């Protein structure tokens, strides 16, 4: 199955708790259990702060859903512990003053078309929603324009660790000691293919047979 795009509605207080923990964990309330247990690695999460009426951050899910009742987030129901949890990593995170105004971008979202035009805020009731990829990408672009930054892979690091292939014809005549002295970038692997003794003997035998036929 492909990744799912979620909109998670939270309060500023609970977002501050998630932020203080390094955006490493997110819990979902018991009322949204059926949706929460479907969350998995590579899913994306968009944060909407209900009491600020603004979009604040995006993150990527990095684990399967699991249950844990350790008290972390706040709720008006004391027994609510947001037990359905996933590990996450942050992508775009804004300061409170830079939040993208929900009333500016909300009415243009494909997701809210299920509701009457004058009642679109009803689409944001409840904690967890599945939204179209197009809506997610649109708002994430707006978050970046508002001053957020999207994490990019460390390309330089990836290139440094990419295996370097050394041609077998070059390495065939080299001893292990001389092979170890080849100028190879740090962290690279040298893959040397050696011809087997059986292959060399069979080639010599074929050469002798051809010579006898010519004679």
Tens-level pLDDT at each residue, the chain (215 residues): 579 999 999 999 999 999 999 999 999 999 999 999 999 999 999 999 999 999 999 999 999 999 999 999 999 998 999 999 999 999 999 999 999 999 999 999 999 998 988 888 899 999 999 999 999 999 999 999 998 665 543 333 333 333 333 343 333 433 444 433 434 333 333 333 333 344 444 444 444 444 444 44
Q: What is the pLDDT of residue 9?
A: 97
Q: What is the pLDDT of residue 186?
A: 38
Q: Which domain holds residue 97?
A: 5-145
Q: Is residue 150 part of a domain?
A: no
Distance of alpha carbon 76 from alpha carbon 80, whole angstroms = 8
Q: What is the pLDDT of residue 148?
A: 66
This prediction's pTM: 0.69
Residue showing tokens 């006898």: 212
Residues 26 and 129 in one domain: yes
Q: What is the pLDDT of residue 1?
A: 57
Residues 139 and 182 in one domain: no
Residues 12 and 116 in one domain: yes
CA 83 and chain centroid, separation: 23
Strands of 22-178 (E only): list them.
Answer: 25-28, 44-49, 54-61, 66-67, 84-93, 100-101, 128-130, 164-165
Distance of alpha carbon 41 from alpha carbon 66, whole angstroms = 12
Residues 68 and 167 in one domain: no
Residue that terminates a domain, selected from 95, 120, 145: 145
Q: What is the pLDDT of residue 2?
A: 77
φ, ψ of residue 20 in degrees (nearest 5):
-65, -25
Residue showing tokens 């994306």: 44
Distance of alpha carbon 202 from alpha carbon 197, whole angstroms = 9
């Amino acid at each position: 199955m492909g990744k799912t795009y979620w909109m998670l509605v939270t309060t500023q207080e609970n977002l501050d708790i998630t932020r203080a923990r390094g955006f490493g964990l997110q819990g979902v309330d018991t009322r949204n259990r059926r949706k929460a247990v479907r969350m998995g690695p590579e899913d994306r999460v968009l944060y909407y702060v209900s009491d600020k009426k603004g979009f604040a951050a995006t993150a990527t899910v990095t684990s399967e859903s699991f249950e844990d009742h350790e008290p972390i987030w706040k709720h008006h129901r004391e027994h609510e512990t947001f037990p359905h949890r996933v590990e996450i990593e942050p992508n775009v995170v804004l300061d409170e003053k830079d939040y993208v105004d929900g009333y500016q971008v909300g009415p243009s979202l494909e997701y809210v078309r299920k509701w009457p035009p004058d009642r679109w805020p009803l689409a944001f009731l409840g904690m967890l929603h599945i939204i179209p990829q197009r809506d997610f990408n649109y708002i994430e672009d707006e978050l970046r324009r508002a001053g957020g930054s999207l994490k990019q892979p460390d390309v330089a690091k990836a290139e440094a660790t990419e295996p370097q292939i050394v041609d077998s014809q070059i390495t065939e005549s080299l001893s292990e000691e001389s092979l170890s002295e080849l100028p190879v970038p740090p962290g690279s692997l040298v893959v040397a293919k050696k011809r087997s003794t059986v292959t060399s003997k069979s080639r010599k035998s074929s050469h002798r047979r051809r010579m006898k036929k010519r004679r």
